Chain A
Amino acid sequence: MEFVNNAVSGLLLGGLYAVAALGLSLVFGTMKLVNLAHGQLLILGAYLTAMLIGLFGGGDPLLVGVAAAVLLAVVVYPLQRYIITPVMAQGEEPPMTVTFGISVVITTLLIIVFTSSPLPTWAVEYATTQWDLFGIRIRLIYLIATVIALVFILALMWLLKRTAFGRQVRAASIDAEAAGLVGIDVKKTYARVMSMSAFVAAIAGVLIALSFSVAPTTGTGWLLRAFTVVVIGGLGSLPGTLFGGFIVGLVEAAGAAWVGPQYRDVIVFGVLVVILLVRPNGLFTKVAKA
């Protein structure tokens, strides 16, 4: 029974990991950009939500989180358009370095504005509710996160496959130069994709704050988790991200049960490395794109 319990809670936690990783996956899939600021975008989403709740004098974190997500999407648009995209022509390293710089700027600004203590936890019922179904523990917030992950993935897939904007994004991701030649504004497309990524990240940040705790420096840990999820799921594959999240959640739970919870990181990142070595492009990509 304890085994089933561990598996279920690991799986649901994986849903949270998937939302946290979704934006990273989207950005990598369309522009081959490794966004080292992704972890900080998550955290920033939670802080913006806290700020807005303070401003509105209350409100449900997840609902206010949508407003914060829009705000964050607006903020990152010019960052991508005028700072990151111009650097991307220089190869892979410079944009990575720039996003790292941005992540440090975000962390430092958060510390300056909010101090370094953890963000006060929102006292909402569903953050700490747990259901007991025939002896199986189900933590509501993880379930919510999993549902949100599913909704986002379906919505993004629809957006990418069925809309004109989606066609532009796919064209730009296959061959940016050719897309430019046929009249697609690749730079604007990239900025829009980053905005979408930030939107999802902000919601994920709220979910993280509701499930655990958030402080200005917690972004890095989540960035690493998100990386693992994205790599295991196949860099850039949206449904793969969900599976990646589930696998990481399960591996964590199994590792914690069999080896000991203190070795969680060793196990998760060990699995990451092994998977990278066996399938350099992730588990859920069929064709290896060099």
Chain B
Amino acid sequence: MKKKMLVAAAVVAAAGLVLSGCSASGGAGDDIVIGASVPLTGPLGTMGTPVSMGYQAAVDEINAAGGVDFGGAKHKIKLVIQDNASDPAKASSQAKSLVLDSKAVALLGPVTPPLSIPEATVADQLKVPFLTSITPIRAFGGANPNWNYAWDVFFDELQMTQTQFQASDLINTNKKVVLFTDTEEDGVVMGKLWEANAPKLGYTIVGRETFAVDNANFSSQVAAAKKSGADIVIAQVIPPEAIGILKEMKAQGYDPKAIFMEKGGNTGNFVKITGGLGLGVMAANWFAEGMGLAREKEFIDKYAAKIGGINSDLGILVCGYSIANVLADAIKVAGGTDPAKLSAAIGKTNGDYAIGHIQFTEGHAAPLKVIQTQWDSNNNQVMVLNLEGKAATPIVTPEAGLK
């Protein structure tokens, strides 16, 4: 009995400590509180981590310069980042709690539609400006054509789904394509666009393999793809699925001339986590060496070593950095944090940022143009198709990792 009481006391004390330790996390003083619920863990943790690094880098820079200037004074930004563990329910409840409890005046987004859309919905519900990236703009607009407070900066799937064919034009193939798409927003939207774009650009879709997210076993899909004899594989998957597909392709001896793995291939260390199988896999990108962005070199020098290469992790970081700056500039323009004024000011953004030119269109989205890149053995993604849709570094074919 005594022993139990002691343990009980310990539990209560521990809980009390936890409660008192964090109850002070609300807004303090004159600081502007900005919240972000991002996936630092779970299947999307590999993308959430660099985006939050980008947010933090921008905020640190702004604060080092004294803060955001409005109303005749400089205001520091307090960035509150929470981990939603790639869970949409958690993302939504954290976004709410960041606004209501932490008194965030604006939210920076997570990554990918399954997380961005629930958070954007919360922002509209609570009437708080929300700015996200790494969420393709048609998926964003498809979920709600009339966003009020939610804004998105990322590529347009229409342009993005042409780059795989443009890159394939640079090598010699039989022009037959197999698609691997999952059943969530990106897979659905991009799958349709690839099917629509292929004939226009001279390609034939000979197979479309679909699967629900979190699938582990791709044996029958890969067998079907191999049977179709396609030289080109275009996949829209998350990282664990990318590994599963590559292993199955290796096992079944299916080595097409070009493999595009969108989203799944946009993971730093891709070659390493696939045990080398991912060497030569291509993926659309929004940041690469030689792309021609004004601050390209600066970011490569500063973060490439930290991130482990010049790859889409760095691109995600730059995206996060850029939208955090868009938000800070909008606060300055709006002259404060009034939600309606701030949201309107975000919408009027028209300027050059680290990731390129940002200007919003009617659907509350600012499209970025993408290029195609290929994984090399130094953990870099090398540009093979530039912003004009022309050849850059020659494509290594067939995909080296599967040989």
Contact = CB atoms under 8 A, between A and B. Distances in A.
B228 to A, nearest CB: 13
Interface stretch (B24-32, B125-133, B245-253, B337-345): B245-253
A285 interface: no
B142 interface: no
A142 to B, nearest CB: 9
A180 interface: no
Contact of A128 (B218, B221, B223, B250): B250
B276 A123 contact: yes
Contact of B247 (A9, A128, A261, A265): A128
Interface stretch (A75-83, A192-200, A212-220, A276-284): A212-220
Contact of A121 (B210, B252, B267, B274): B274
Interface stretch (A41-49, A109-117, A150-158, A165-173): A109-117
B212 A265 contact: yes
Interface string B189-201: 0000000000000
Interface in B1-60: 40-43, 45-46, 49
Interface in B307-328: none
Contacts of A217: 41-43
A117 B209 contact: no
B215 A213 contact: no
Interface stretch (A90-98, A239-247, A252-260): A252-260
Interface in B240-276: 240, 243-244, 247, 250-253, 267, 269, 272-276
Interface in A1-35: 2, 5-6, 9, 13
Contacts of A130: 251-253
Contact of B251 (A5, A119, A128, A221): A128
A162 B281 CA distance: 54
A139 B253 CA distance: 11
Q: How large is the interface on B (under 10, 10 to 19, 20 to 34, 35 or more residues)?
A: 35 or more
Interface string A83-110: 0000000000000000000000000000
Interface residues of A, number: 39
B38 to A, nearest CB: 12
A212 B217 contact: yes
A116 B43 contact: yes
A120 interface: yes
Given A121-B243, A212-B244, A257 B275 contact: no
Contacts of B277: 121, 128
Interface in A207-232: 211-213, 215-218, 221
A148 interface: no
A258 B220 CA distance: 11
Given A120-B272, A121-B274, A5 B46 contact: no
Interface in B207-251: 209-212, 214-221, 223, 239-240, 243-244, 247, 250-251
Given A120-B269, A261-B211, A111 B217 contact: no
B183 interface: yes
B275 A256 contact: no
Nearest to A127: B247
A2 B42 CA distance: 36
A235 B252 CA distance: 34
A265 B43 CA distance: 19
Nearest to A216: B41
Nearest to B271: A120
A121 B247 contact: yes
A118 interface: yes
A188 interface: no
Q: Tell me which of B86, B209, B244, B251 has the highest count of chain A C-beta atoms within 10 A of its own C-beta.
A: B251
Going nearest first, the 10 A-B pairs with the smallest beta carbon separation are A121-B275, A116-B45, A213-B243, A128-B250, A116-B41, A123-B275, A256-B220, A130-B251, A117-B46, A128-B251
Interface of B: 40-43, 45-46, 49, 86, 183, 209-212, 214-221, 223, 239-240, 243-244, 247, 250-253, 267, 269, 272-277
6 contacts: A2-B223, A115-B41, A115-B49, A120-B273, A120-B275, A211-B247
